Amino acid sequence: MVTHQELVSCVGWTTAEELYSCSDDHQIVKWNLLTSETTQIVKLPDDIYPIDFHWFPKSLGVKKQTQAESFVLTSSDGKFHLISKLGRVEKSIEAHCGAVLAGRWNYEGTALVTVGEDGQIKIWSKTGMLRSTLAQQGTPVYSVAWGPDSEKVLYTAGKQLIIKPLQPNAKVLQWKAHDGIILKVDWNSVNDLILSAGEDCKYKVWDSYGRPLYNSQPHEHPITSVAWAPDGELFAVGSFHTLRLCDKTGVRNVLNDAVDLLEFRDRVIKASLNYAHLVVSTSLQCYVFSTKNWNTPIIFDLKEGTVSLILQAERHFLLVDGSSIYLYSYEGRFISSPKFPGMRTDILNAQTVSLSNDTIAIRDKADEKIIFLFEASTGKPLGDGKFLSHKNEILEIALDQKGLTNDRKIAFIDKNRDLCITSVKRFGKEEQIIKLGTMVHTLAWNDTCNILCGLQDTRFIVWYYPNTVYVDRDILPKTLYERDASEFSKNPHIVSFVGNQVTIRRADGSLVHISISPYPAILHEYVSSSKWEDAVRLCRFVKEQTMWACLAAMAVANRDMTTAEIAYAAIGEIDKVQYINSIKSLPSKESKMAHILLFSGNIQEAEIVLLQAGLVYQAIQININLYNWERALELAVKYKTHVDTVLAYRQKFLETFGKQETNKRYLHYAEGLQIDWEKIKAKIEMEITKEREQSSSSQSSKSMGLKP
């Protein structure tokens, strides 16, 4: 067995089971964790003392490799070396005066940054050609990291951290980060968080604007190394004879104290427990356990051992590795693998991917204003293949979990911290994106019904029926549950929303559980089964305005106006009760449908329903009632009917305000036309009678058809 004889200076993983290490004994050694074998890859010349080591990125464009093929090695003689996986030194390049203290490839593999004792930060091409000297300072630069977009570089300057964009004249961000010299930094591409460690014996977590998120207690010795896990959930901290594993809030991970119940042949990489199934990925296989039977898991082999994300829905689960996205059933059957141009799976996380029973949603990294939507069963783009586009960059997405595919909704938070909701159904007509709330920084859908919760500034809010925004926005505030969230301290995060319990992780890592009322979920269940009488009975029993408001919106959405009338009366919306009564007295079902659509603010759809039924006058009348004068006249002229009616109502409207007609179209059609209200009223009466007759004849013909 090959081992190092001197201090090990740097290490790097190729796969989940293979590690390379470099040492002052000039050896590069490969370690295999499966077989416990070690192999000497190369013995470097005696004058090369390795300092830093970084593998060339493995997922590049079309040529997706399962493992890295080459690496950069920096050394104390002022050079960096490009070395193949087999140990052949392809190139050695003079880079700095004094030692080259760090070298890092960018995420695309198109550029290399090196820093040295001479205080210089240099950018090199893939082949080792010098492109530019990004910065120069009087003190050694001990560590460097690329920003997630490869457009910025983070480096150390004594006790300061500096973020410098590659573009000249762009704003440089600099702040004092430690009380001692900073020795190591890392910047994660998934969560966009920065790690730093220094001689002050502390490690810290920062956001990309230099704002502190976590500050560790001083340790016994200087912290010499820090590194993020690729998925951004955990990071490792190295010090003298000590290695700590922490989660992204900086809290010590206590996994080692957990009771070991399930044993696996290989190392466990990821695990997820939801919807009565535990999904575990090891370096070689995936295990699917049912919570009803822990003894006989479904096991299948993985193409690549570096699973970075597991997402679960009721019917299936999603695995993300370094090269692809895979959807499997809980029986282990492969279902689909969605793809889109320029897809980078290495930076996908639970905030940028969402899964429901019928839909997969992925926020694009190249353009963060875009969400790609796929059919779960085929992996093909949803609907007419159009992606969802928003005016601002999107930070977090979440699909609702219940209901029909046609009603599937997606909620997302944009960079202004606005919470928006829209339909995922995309056929021709651009679906409206509606704002639900502001200053929201975390959200979650319920697992059993479409209830949404979020943390809004210092408030915890539950939207019991988010679809209210499509039905009657006026009563949306009445369908919410709110409570103070200041007890959760800074930067809390919603972990899950299962049943009537919401789990929130505070910034210190502790979990807080909030219970919400179970009644709205029962109401959702009754409505989805069309048990309207049970729903009304439940609201009468609970006696809460929130429940009645939800029922009112649900009833209108499902066109049950009798229930809607009861619910609106219970919350004191008298004008709406009267309007619903007027709808119920309309002669034809088309008119009723149009006015229900009108009630929900869907004016165009209401007009289409009436025109398709041949009720042209009624379509003109709704535009007159809404003062859509241009459209009312346009319809009257197009269908050559009721032009005088439109002109009469327009004249009456202007007279009320003591105004004169200035609209050229109205002046043109009013020329030589005498308005006769008696004649107009007779025509309107005739239209209503005709509609009533049409309705009764269609009903009688239907009843005739029902007779045996």
Taking 70 as the threshold, does the pLDDT of residue 255 lie above it? no
Taking 50 as the threshold, does the pLDDT of residue 211 lie above it? yes
pLDDT at 71: 93
Closest by alpha carbon to 360, among 345, 338, 383, 335? 338
One domain for residues 47 and 113: yes
User: What integer is the mean pLDDT of 22-38?
Assistant: 89
Residue 546 lies in a domain: no
Q: What is the pLDDT of residues 649-688, one digit of tens each?
A: 888 888 888 888 888 888 888 887 778 888 888 888 888 8
Residue 211 lies in a domain: yes
pLDDT at 173: 95
Say what percent of the chain tops pLDDT 90.
Answer: 50
One domain for residues 442 and 304: no
CATH classification of the domain holding 112: 2.130.10.10
C-alpha Rg value of the chain to the nearest Å:
33
pLDDT at 428: 53
Residue entry with tokens 């460690």:
197
User: What integer is the mean pLDDT of 590-609?
Assistant: 79
Structure tokens at 490: 């800074």
One domain for residues 128 and 186: yes
Domain that holds residue 621: 586-697
- pTM (2 decimals)? 0.75
One domain for residues 296 and 380: no
pLDDT at 175: 95
Domain final residue, candidates 306, 337, 368: 337
pLDDT tier, 254 (very low <50, low <70, confident <90, very high otherwise): very low
One domain for residues 184 and 332: no
pLDDT tier, 705 (very low <50, low <70, confident <90, very high otherwise): very low
pLDDT at 393: 93
Taking 60 as the threshold, does the pLDDT of residue 331 lie above it? yes
Q: Considering its fold, how many domains does the chain have in total? A: 4
Residue 554 lies in a domain: no
pLDDT at 486: 85
Q: Residues near 641 by Cβ (< 8 Å), separated by ≥ 6? A: 616, 617, 620
Residue 259 lies in a domain: no
pLDDT tier, 691 (very low <50, low <70, confident <90, very high otherwise): confident
One domain for residues 26 and 92: yes
Between 54-63, 274-283, 369-378, the lowest mean confidence (pLDDT) is in 54-63
CATH classification of the domain holding 352: 2.120.10
- 105 vs 124: CA distance, rounded Å: 9
DSSP 639-705: TT--HHHHHHHHHHHHHHTT-----HHHHHHHTTPPP-HHHHHHHHHHHHHHHHHHHHHHHHHHHHH
- 618 vs 595: CA distance, rounded Å: 10
CATH classification of the domain holding 282: 2.40.10.480
One domain for residues 651 and 595: yes
pLDDT at 247: 75
User: What integer is the mean pLDDT of 641-649?
Assistant: 85
pLDDT at 67: 59
Residue 446 lies in a domain: yes
One domain for residues 277 and 289: yes
Domain final residue, candidates 506, 537, 568: 537
pLDDT tier, 637 (very low <50, low <70, confident <90, very high otherwise): confident
Strand boundaries in 333-487, DSSP class E: 334-336, 353-355, 359-363, 370-375, 388-389, 394-399, 409-414, 419-423, 434-437, 440-445, 452-456, 459-463, 480-484
Q: What is the pLDDT of residues 157-208, one digit of tens each?
A: 999 999 999 998 889 999 999 999 999 999 998 888 999 999 999 999 999 9
Q: What is the pLDDT of residues 384-420, one digit of tens each?
A: 778 889 999 999 999 999 988 888 999 999 999 999 9
User: What integer is the mean pLDDT of 7-31?
Assistant: 89
Domain final residue, candidates 537, 564, 595: 537
One domain for residues 323 and 373: no
- 626 vs 619: CA distance, rounded Å: 11
Which is higher by pLDDT, 618 or 152? 152
One domain for residues 227 and 357: no
- 614 vs 628: CA distance, rounded Å: 20
Sheet containing strand 182-187, edge to edge, reads 182-187, 194-198, 203-206, 212-215
Say if residues 523 and 548 touch (Cβ distance below 8 Å): no
Residue 677 lies in a domain: yes
pLDDT tier, 522 (very low <50, low <70, confident <90, very high otherwise): very high
The DSSP output letter for 306 is -
Residue 301 lies in a domain: yes
- 570 vs 42: CA distance, rounded Å: 81
Taking 50 as the threshold, does the pLDDT of residue 226 lie above it? yes
pLDDT tier, 358 (very low <50, low <70, confident <90, very high otherwise): very high
Residue 580 lies in a domain: no
pLDDT at 698: 65
Between 175-184, 367-376, 531-540, 601-610, the lowest mean confidence (pLDDT) is in 601-610
One domain for residues 228 and 144: yes
pLDDT at 260: 38
One domain for residues 52 and 147: yes
Which is higher by pLDDT, 628 or 452? 452
Closest by alpha carbon to 537, among 517, 251, 108, 527? 527
Which parts of 148-224 fold into alpha helices (H)? none
Q: What is the pLDDT of residues 494-521, one digit of tens each?
A: 999 999 999 998 877 788 999 999 999 9
Q: Residues near 367 by Cβ (< 8 Å), separated by ≥ 6? A: none
Q: What is the pLDDT of residues 269-323, one digit of tens each?
A: 889 998 999 999 988 889 999 988 888 899 999 887 688 899 999 999 999 987 8
Taking 70 as the threshold, does the pLDDT of residue 472 lie above it? yes
Taking 60 as the threshold, does the pLDDT of residue 427 lie above it? no
pLDDT at 196: 96
Say what percent of the chain tops pLDDT 70.
Answer: 94
